[in-house]
Chain A
Amino acid sequence: MAFDAQGEASDEALMVLYANGDRHAALALTRRVTPRVLAYAARLLSGDRAEAEDVAQETMLRLWRVAPEWRQGETKVTTWAYRVATNLCIDRQRARGRRRQTALDDAPEVADGAPGAEGQLIEAGRIAALEAALADLPERQRQAVVLRHLEGMTNPEIAAIMEIGVEAVESLTARGKRALSALLAGRKEALGYEDDGHAG
């Protein structure tokens, strides 16, 4: 089968092809799903790259195992993968205790005088502060905020992943954002708002 043709195939169709022994489908699914699961896991795990890679590999391993019994039309591959990754992240956080990988103290100092480099460092510091604040959110709120605002998913998709109603998703997202705002409010300096002239 031509590799281009699989670029148009849905994830669910690729699952069927994979289960039928199509090696191109294995490659296509790896390329499509792994980066998304890794990014999601990294955001849920506050940027812990090694843990996120473990979660991504384990999620994909479970995907390969379930492929022969996959039923097209019942659930989307990405929904299934995000759900598994969520549970794996929760397990790891509970087992090892929540670790803050990127504390505010670790935020890069603005030492370079070049405007471009300074801007990048400020941006990196703000992102680091956001990750730290996300890590302080209650578990479900963090999941909802990450899925909605960082993964760009719709509320019905998030509801399917978290196995809750759409209204509950809206509530979790709203509360999560309010909590994030409160956490970040005391860290404006670290976020670089004053440097950017946004403080006020």
Chain B
Amino acid sequence: MQDDLDDLLASAARRPVAPSEALMERVLADALALQPEPQALRAAAPIPRPGFLARLAAAIGGPPALAGLGTAAVFGLALGYLSPTTMDYLTGASADTAEFFPGADFLTTEG
């Protein structure tokens, strides 16, 4: 009887249980309805575009360059406002007028 049972089980295993077209269509419809969107089609988060000043600062070297530029600007303003005397004091030089063309006095002398 055991051999008969094995034969019977083997016969049953060979009998196909084919799914209907309708079932396959329902399953596929579920699959497509629940499927996540493809990676490539997902809307990418917009990358924020830096403003004009930020781009300008980046173009000249970023914050370190800006710091150097600021220092130079302040120093330039100071030089412009300070009187020559103060400059002499700062630099230790004489306030005498420098003669760059000693042989050109005749140009300013009358007679």
Contact = CB atoms under 8 A, between A and B. Distances in A.
A57 B26 CA distance: 7
Contacts of B23: 34, 38, 53, 56-57
A150 B37 CA distance: 38
Interface of B: 1-2, 4-6, 8-13, 15-20, 23-24, 26-28, 30-32, 34-39, 41
A91 to B, nearest CB: 19
Interface of A: 18-23, 26-27, 29-31, 34-35, 38-39, 42-43, 52-53, 56-57, 60-61, 64-65, 67-68, 123, 126-127, 130-131, 145, 149-152, 177, 180-181, 184-185, 191, 193, 198
Nearest to B3: A198
A27 B41 CA distance: 20
A38 B26 CA distance: 13
B35 A30 contact: no
Contacts of A57: 23, 26-27, 30
Given A20-B38, A34-B24, A57-B27, A150 B12 contact: yes
Contacts of A53: 19-20, 23
Contacts, number: 104
Interface of B is mostly: helix
Contacts of A22: 38
B38 A150 contact: no
Given A56-B23, A184-B5, A26 B13 contact: no
Nearest to B17: A39
B19 A130 contact: no
A21 B36 CA distance: 5
Nearest to A129: B8
A25 to B, nearest CB: 9
A27 B32 CA distance: 9
